[in-house]
Amino acid sequence: MNKSIKFFIAIIGILTLFTIAACSGDTGENSKANNDEEVTEKSGELVVYSSRNEKFMEPLLEKFEKESGITVNLLSGKDEIINKVKEEGKNAHADILISNDVGALEHLRQNDFLQGYDAEGIESIDEKYRAEDNSWYGLSARTRILMYNKDLITEEEMPKTIAELADDKWKDEFAITRGGNGSMIAHVSALRNEWGDDKTLEWLKNVKDNAAVITDGHGDLRRAVGAGEVKMALVNNYYYHQQLDEPTDNNVGAIYPDQGEDDMGAFVNAAGVGFINNAPNEDNAKTFLDWLMKPENQREFSYASMEVPINPDIEPIEEAAKISDYKISDMPLRDLGNVWENTRELIEKSGLDLEIGS
């Protein structure tokens, strides 16, 4: 091989090495860029508004943060959280709304404050417990029951229907919450759907007059029943389980009302989650909704407050009845949204104060 050819081959080799090095350098930069993009996709924030007690939500949201890398900012409140979503409107500050009342969620959906999204695994929730466009769905059942003190009254002596609370027979024997309590509003909305406004108004007036105690929340009710201050109270079912877990004042029982053949069944509301329209962190919100549909996270959501999972494949806490074990009202929960807003007016008309001391 002559010297010219050898020199040419050497030059080609050197150029090839430079090319490979250059390409390797580009690949490294692109890889770094791609890695940065992946980190970005798994970071950012999620803003959650919640009307549930913080102690029920924080472990779940911390689990999501750890598994997703997304930072969660939680703002908790009570009924005012719904109004905050409405006030912000198209200038939404939050991505997700977690509520104890799907009637409120449906009300928001009907007024374009929520947006639809088919989360992975959404079919595990019966259509009865989610919006038509899946902009909200329930995760845990909140059944309205009569909780009673076994030292003061027997199961046989207890009223078996909600309507019976209006009878003079039960005057000063039971306790209820204020009219503006979210669960009370939802329950009265369901009664309006079942009975109509006239019968519901009459029932409210009589129940208000018959009640021995009217409290701000259900925690006060369960403690009053446990301590024997009243024989019974109208509460959500998980308060019964909370009282059973108390070291004292725990000799309590529960009646699931309206279980007769011709009865309407117990009213079941749900705690659930809604996807806020114009969410500032939309992709992270979808990630959260998909994550929340995993069975272990549905379980976490409901078990934290001793509620009953709506997903029938998830076993309830010990001593709790599965949602399929008792007769429930056949009204789709989305129908609550049609009457939710006006229910407050009917409650006020009855004389049952929305707030304590008002």
Return d(Cα 32, Cα 261) in angstroms, integer. Answer: 67
Domain match, 209 and 281 both: no
Residue-number span of the structural domain to which 150 is assigned:
142-267+340-350
Over residues 25-60, the pLDDT tens digits come to 443 444 333 333 333 345 699 999 999 889 889 999
Domain match, 157 and 260 both: yes
Question: Per the domain annotation, does 282 fall within a domain?
Answer: yes
For tokens 């549930």, the residue is 52
Domain match, 246 and 303 both: no
Return d(Cα 134, Cα 248) in angstroms, integer. Answer: 43
Over residues 279-308, the pLDDT tens digits come to 999 999 999 999 999 999 999 999 888 888
Return d(Cα 329, Cα 268) in angstroms, integer. Answer: 7
Domain match, 345 and 238 both: yes
Question: Per the domain annotation, does 257 fall within a domain?
Answer: yes
**CATH code, 275:** 3.40.190.10
Q: Higher confidence at residue 248 or residue 329?
A: 248
pTM: 0.76
Q: Is 236 helix (H, G, I), strand (E, B) or coil?
A: strand
Question: Per the domain annotation, does 160 fall within a domain?
Answer: yes
Per-residue pLDDT, averaged over 351-358, amounts to 83
Domain match, 130 and 172 both: no
Question: Per the domain annotation, does 260 fall within a domain?
Answer: yes
pLDDT reading at 17 higher than 60: no
Task: Specify the number of domains making up the chain.
Answer: 2
Domain match, 155 and 174 both: yes
Contact call for residues 166 and 352 (beta carbons, < 8 A): no
Question: Per the domain annotation, does 355 fall within a domain?
Answer: no
Question: Per the domain annotation, does 301 fall within a domain?
Answer: yes
Question: Per the domain annotation, does 332 fall within a domain?
Answer: no
Return d(Cα 118, Cα 216) in angstroms, integer. Answer: 37
Domain match, 314 and 204 both: no
Return d(Cα 199, Cα 141) in angstroms, integer. Answer: 26
C-alpha dist (Å) from residue 214 to 107, 178, 209, 268, 353: 27, 6, 10, 22, 9
CA-nearest of 213, 209, 162 to 188 is 162
Over residues 208-221, the pLDDT tens digits come to 999 999 999 999 99
Question: Per the domain annotation, does 193 fall within a domain?
Answer: yes
Domain match, 131 and 108 both: yes
Domain match, 176 and 253 both: yes
Residue 276 confidence class, pLDDT cut points 50, 70, 90: very high
DSSP per residue, 153-191: --TTTS--SSGGGGSGGGTTSEEEE-TTSHHHHHHHHHH
Domain match, 231 and 154 both: yes
With pLDDT > 70 as the criterion, what percentage of the chain qualifies? 87
DSSP per residue, 278-300: T-TTHHHHHHHHHHHTSHHHHHH
Q: Is 13 helix (H, G, I), strand (E, B) or coil?
A: helix
> How many other CB atoms are found less than 10 A from the CB of residue 37?
10
Domain match, 234 and 180 both: yes
Return d(Cα 336, Cα 311) in angstroms, integer. Answer: 20
Return d(Cα 46, Cα 294) in angstroms, integer. Answer: 18
Over residues 76-133, the pLDDT tens digits come to 987 789 999 999 999 999 999 999 888 889 999 999 999 999 999 999 999 989 999 9
CA-nearest of 42, 41, 45, 86 to 67 is 42
Question: What is the structure's pLDDT at 317?
Answer: 82
Residue type, 297: N
Domain match, 184 and 91 both: no
